[in-house]
Amino acid sequence: MHIVLIEPEIPGNTGNIARLCAAVGMELHLVKPLGFSTDDKYLKRAGLDYWHLVRVHYHENFDEVLAMYHGHRFFYCSTKAPRSYSEAVFGPDDMLVFGKESAGIPESILDEHWDSCIRIPMIAGARSLNLSNSVAIVAYEAMRQQNFVHLAEAGPGLRMWKNGK
């Protein structure tokens, strides 16, 4: 699966998302312009020592992503979307698209792909969730639907805990 961030602005969010991608084996796509340098210390700190596990792709614009991944299904995550992410049926090659923190996915993209737009339900008056939290919620639902394929049953921490260490 793929996570696509259109013009992310906050390095800590992107670092957290990169760490998530590393942990679940998803590819990360960053669509320019980025609101930070990829050498940014906050980006590196948030991703800690996971960067070598992440396959990161950089794109000049979103049209480039659409062209390169023609044939893949795209899901556009937005607070404006008509249906919940839990209603979507995700597959192993899907592209989960998220917009920048301050504005979300551009309305022109949402309008063009309205039938593929999904949202995370929230109470009335709540503007939005943090970007990295939103990515985690949708990504783990997508992984759950695929029975967490390619993920380890238990990490080293659980094995150590069970063995009393």
Measure CA of the first residue to CA of the last residue in the chain; give whole Å: 35
Q: Is 128 annotated as a binding residue?
A: yes
Eight-state DSSP code of residue 34? P
- Identify any residues that bridge with 95 across adjacent strands, giving them in sequence order: 2, 74
Q: Work out the number of other CB atoms within 10 angstroms of the CB of residue 127.
A: 6
CA dihedral 50, 51, 53, 55 (to 10 degrees): 150
Residue 99 marked in a binding site: yes
Beta strands 27-31 and 74-77, pairing class: unpaired
Residue positions forming the annotated binding site for S-adenosyl-L-methionine: 99, 120, 128
Residue positions forming the annotated binding site: 99, 120, 128
